Amino acid sequence: MINRRDLIKHLSTFPLLGGFLGQTSIDPMGVAAKVPVRNLAKELGIRTFINAAGTYTAMTGSLMQDEVVETIQGASKDFMMLDEVQTKVGEKIAALTHAESAVVTAGCFSALTLGLAGVLTGMDQKKVSALPHLEGTGMKSEVIIQKGHSIGYSQALTNTGCKIVYVETVDELKKAINEKTALMWFLNIQSDNGQIKHEQWIEIAKKNGIPTMIDMAADVPPVENLWKFNDMGFDLVCVSGGKAMRGPQSAGILMGKKHLIAAARLSMPPRGSTIGRGMKVNKEEILGMYVALEKFINMDHKKEWKMWEDRTALIGNAAKSVNGVTTEVTVPELGNHTPTLRVTWDAAKVSLPVKVLQENLRNGNPSIEIIAGDMNSLTITTWMLKPGEEKIVASRLKEELQKAAVKS
Ligand SMILES: *Cc1c(COP(=O)(O)O)cnc(C)c1O
């Protein structure tokens, strides 16, 4: 409960909050008021910042949609059986994504581990508790990946005890498949970096009776990707909840074939003696993930896109008004599919190493995060900005560039 002294303290520190606090009396249902009565970032000295960088794990991903936060708050007031929450939410998510079945996992990374666990164990309880020790259990032990798809996330797969077999050509793939092959894994964001494309990967897998999994963690938007890979025939599809969908950062979705999702759930909480026991997702996040997905699917994506473009143009125009600065907007085809502004400056005209600029923006008030490029360039995305922040980013960026302009 907030006391009078704290209230006054906060009112003086946060004039904006004062207005809200003034209207908010104690909720008659005893439900906590929505107003943040404590500012923990301030209390603990944690830096908050304007995120002009993107959906980075280290920057806490994305800001949850309001409806997600409300869902979390509402759900926190009642007990529910964890399995029942997963089952009922899973049915809804599956229907939205054209999957047979689905379950909310602790991020995409845990979806990868648990999906493979399901493939390995099936419904055999003894195998579930044996993981990650595969020897002498009769379980398969190899996952095939294209070399170009190896960007570090395959640790999620080796966590099950499996080893990775790398291939480059169709010929190599066909030779690599053997009686120990558990899974053929595909990484969407690197699909241009491998000779074998989605359809052929699935076709060869099906011919050999090998299950397939695709990691599409950062591949919405476009929203259609949420069902595209299920429709295409991947047996398991894994996505992050806390990136563009703006669900809880620690949530993700594993979707796919009914028997595989059921098997994966054997390695998930509440069941102990499993490799997934530490990958718990609470009921609030499971429900929050569902609401985030539903809102994301139903949102006006054209309008969103236009907003991102307008913000990008505003920031770009401000930057290039400084002599020697050029800008370019591109949209990555794969992963983080959003207008991306690249600002480059001529060092002879603007004497500012990007690391210095980055530090200046970071140490300014308000603090701003961008992505530093090589010496004289940086990258900005606008999809994680709160309304109005684009103006602050535009003027701070221009200010810093201008300050470093070489007088001629
Ligand atoms: C972000 C990401 C992951 C991990 O997702 P989490 O939801 O953070 O667990 C896995 N694979 C790729 C390609 C990613 O971009």
Whether the Cβ atoms of residue 105 and residue 281 lie closer than 8 Å to each other: yes
Q: Is residue 56 part of a domain?
A: no
- pLDDT tens, residue by residue, 346-380: 999 999 999 999 999 999 999 999 999 988 999 99
Phi, psi of 224 (to 5 degrees): -60, -25
Low-confidence stretches of the chain (pLDDT beneath 70): 1-36, 408
pLDDT of res. 375? 86
Q: Does 274 lie in the same domain as 330?
A: no
Q: Which domain holds residue 29?
A: 4-48
The separation between CA 203 and the C-alpha centre of its own chain, rounded to angstroms, equals 29
- Amino acid 408: pLDDT: 67
Q: Is the CB of 105 under 6 A from ligand 1?
A: no
353 and 221 in a common domain = no
Ligand 1: residue whose CA is nearest its atom 1: 217
Output the pTM of the full model: 0.90
Sign of the torsion angle spanned by Cα atoms 243, 248, 249, 253: negative
Same domain? For 18 and 147 the reply is: no
Closest ligand 1 atom to Cα of 242: 7
Residue 25 pLDDT:
39
Name the residue with tokens 């929450």. 85
CA 36, CA 159: separation in Å to the nearest integer? 39
Number of domains in the chain: 3
Query: Quick one: 139 and 115 in the same domain?
Result: yes
Same domain assignment for residues 234 and 334: no
109 touches ligand 1 (CB under 6 Å): yes
Residue 176 lies in a domain: yes
Task: Please report the pLDDT score of residue 50 as a whole number.
Answer: 98
Residue 108 Cα to ligand 1 midpoint, Å, equals: 5
Structural domain contains residue 59: no
CB 342 within 8 A of CB 327: yes
C-alpha of residue 203 to centroid of ligand 1, in Å: 25
Is the same domain home to 243 and 390?
no
Distance separating alpha carbons of residues 74 and 256, to the nearest angstrom = 29
Residue 397 and residue 277 in one domain: no
Which of 246, 281, 298 delimits the end of a domain? 298
- Whether 74 is in a domain gets the answer yes
CATH number at residue 328: 3.90.1150.110
Q: Which atom of ligand 1 is nearest to the CA of 188?
A: 13
Bond from prior residue into 36 cis (ω within 30 degrees of 0): no
Kindly report the CATH number assigned to the domain that includes residue 138: 3.40.640.10
pLDDT tens figures, 11-52:
333 334 333 333 343 444 555 555 668 999 999 999 999 999
Rounded CA separation 90/87 (Å): 5
